[in-house]
Amino acid sequence: MYIWVNIHQRLYDPANYRDRKDLLEDALESEAESAKTSHRTKRTSTASAALGRPHGPAPFGYRRQYDPHR
């Protein structure tokens, strides 16, 4: 069984220890980047909520209407 990685334009053979090592390193880097992105997103959402800002854009066909007395 072989694994084609499109971004590298290369065919990897998991039976070859160097190819397996490269695949595992790429997987670890990807997982770390995903965790960093999740952390930043949660931090920004929490900060926005504390400031009273909306979570995101209004869905298509809706618009925000704020109370003019507040």
From residue 52, alpha-carbon distances to 15, 55, 63, 65, 70 in Å are 54, 9, 17, 14, 12
Give the pLDDT confidence score for residue 55 in this predicted structure.
Answer: 85
Per-domain residue ranges of the chain = 3-42
Instruction: For 31-53, write each residue's pLDDT tens digit.
Output: 999 999 999 999 999 999 999 88
pTM of structure: 0.69
Instruction: Answer whether residue 70 shows pLDDT above 90.
Output: no
Cβ pair 12, 19 in contact under 8 A: yes
